[in-house]
């Protein structure tokens, strides 16, 4: 799988938090409920530095046990520091443990462990029945149709709920619009469907494919928009998005390089003047077994 740096995940986390659909997260929490006998057990796929845990643990109820799975040892190494800093900011007590770490908040205790696993080949090593639910964020648009079918089969066998947040859906709206936006956005979507380590990626079609497969297996599936909104007061992120879009569009049509350069210059001027904003479409998906 193509790697993402801890710095990038840190930069995107505030946008993810603002975009997440709160109602979907609350329905997920309500479906899990609480158990008086043991903690809730959650497995988070492609966990990165633990952002999904940080977003969802406060929404869920009572004691929790989280297994954060990622293939990148650098991101796994970053989890403890990121969660420790977050705990301090939330006035929760962070405690290192032999098998992970503990966060004490109010009357609840959250136990977090990490596991390094290449999900492109190791999905069958996970026993999803050992957990109460499965979560993932900003991941499923990177996988192939074949991998998604395998994942849906594993989930269906386990009959576990799934919360998959922040899957890109192809919508990308620059404001103000420019004539070349459509061509550049189309090139960007084509790039997203490249191989990210799981075979040809589903990109913007991932949420729809996941919803259709799980609904056909008897799951109750709902989706809600969780769009990134990047406003003029964040020129650094706007400039990164514009630069990446132009870089992807260039190789797709080298003959149009001059037009892309003009588009880039216009966007840069708008960013400098505080006149540009960007909406990037994402979907949160909740799937509950019948």
- Give kind and range of the element (H or E) at residue 224: strand 220-225
In a domain, 242, yes or no: no
CATH of the domain at 38: 3.40.50.150
**How many Cα atoms occupy the beta-carbon half-sphere of 94 within 13 Å?**
16
In a domain, 183, yes or no: no
pLDDT at 252: 63
In a domain, 40, yes or no: yes
In a domain, 70, yes or no: yes
Q: Cis omega (within 30 of 0) on the bond before 270?
A: no
195: left (phi over 0), alpha (psi -120 to 50) or beta: beta
In a domain, 160, yes or no: yes
In a domain, 248, yes or no: no
pLDDT at 21: 98
Question: From residue 9, how far is each of 49, 123, 138, 199, 258 by CA, in Å?
Answer: 7, 23, 10, 23, 32
N-term to C-term CA, the chain: 32
Considering only the C-alpha atoms of the chain, give the largest distance between any 2 of them, rounded to a whole number of Å: 65
Dist. CA 73–CA 49, nearest whole Å: 10
Nearest to 207 by CA among 164, 173, 172, 240: 164
159: left (phi over 0), alpha (psi -120 to 50) or beta: left
In a domain, 14, yes or no: yes
Quickly list DSSP for 162-214: EEEEEEEEEEEEEES--TTHHHHHHHHHHHHTSBSSSSB--GGGHHHHHHHHH
Angle at 215 between CA 122 and CA 134, to 5 degrees: 40
Percent of the chain with pLDDT over 70: 98
Dist. CA 187–CA 180, nearest whole Å: 11
Q: Based on the structure, what is the number of domains in the chain?
A: 1
| Whole-prediction pTM | 0.94
In a domain, 58, yes or no: yes
pLDDT at 1: 43
Dist. CA 122–CA 4, nearest whole Å: 19
What stretches in the chain show pLDDT beneath 70?
1-3, 252-255
- Domain span at residue 157? 6-170+196-230+279-288
């Amino acid at each position: 799988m193509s790697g993402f740096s801890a710095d990038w995940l840190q930069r995107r986390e505030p946008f993810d938090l603002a975009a997440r659909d709160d109602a979907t997260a609350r329905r997920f929490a309500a479906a899990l409920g609480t158990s008086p006998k043991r903690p809730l057990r959650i497995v988070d796929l492609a966990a990165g530095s633990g952002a999904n845990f940080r977003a969802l643990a406060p929404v869920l109820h009572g004691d929790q046990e989280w297994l954060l799975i990622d293939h990148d040892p650098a991101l796994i190494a970053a989890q403890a520091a990121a969660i420790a800093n977050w705990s301090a900011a939330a006035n929760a007590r962070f405690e290192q443990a032999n098998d992970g770490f503990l966060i004490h908040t109010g009357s609840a205790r959250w136990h977090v462990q990490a596991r390094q696993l290449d999900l492109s080949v190791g999905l069958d090593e996970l026993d999803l029945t050992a957990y109460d639910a499965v979560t993932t964020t900003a991941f499923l648009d990177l996988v192939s149709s074949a991998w998604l079918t395998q994942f849906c089969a594993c989930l269906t066998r386990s009959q576990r709920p799934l919360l998959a947040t922040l899957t890109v859906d192809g919508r990308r709206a620059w404001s103000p619009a420019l004539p070349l936006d459509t061509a550049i956005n189309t090139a960007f979507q084509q790039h997203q469907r490249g191989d990210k380590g799981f075979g040809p990626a589903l990109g913007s079609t991932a949420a729809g494919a996941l919803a259709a497969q799980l609904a056909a297996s008897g799951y109750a599936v709902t989706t809600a928009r969780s769009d990134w909104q990047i406003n003029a007061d964040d020129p650094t992120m706007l400039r990164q998005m514009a630069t990446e879009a132009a870089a992807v569009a260039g190789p797709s049509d080298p003959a149009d390089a001059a037009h892309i350069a003009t588009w880039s210059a216009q966007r840069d001027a708008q960013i400098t003047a505080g006149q540009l904003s960007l909406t990037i479409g994402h979907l949160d998906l909740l799937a509950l077994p019948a």
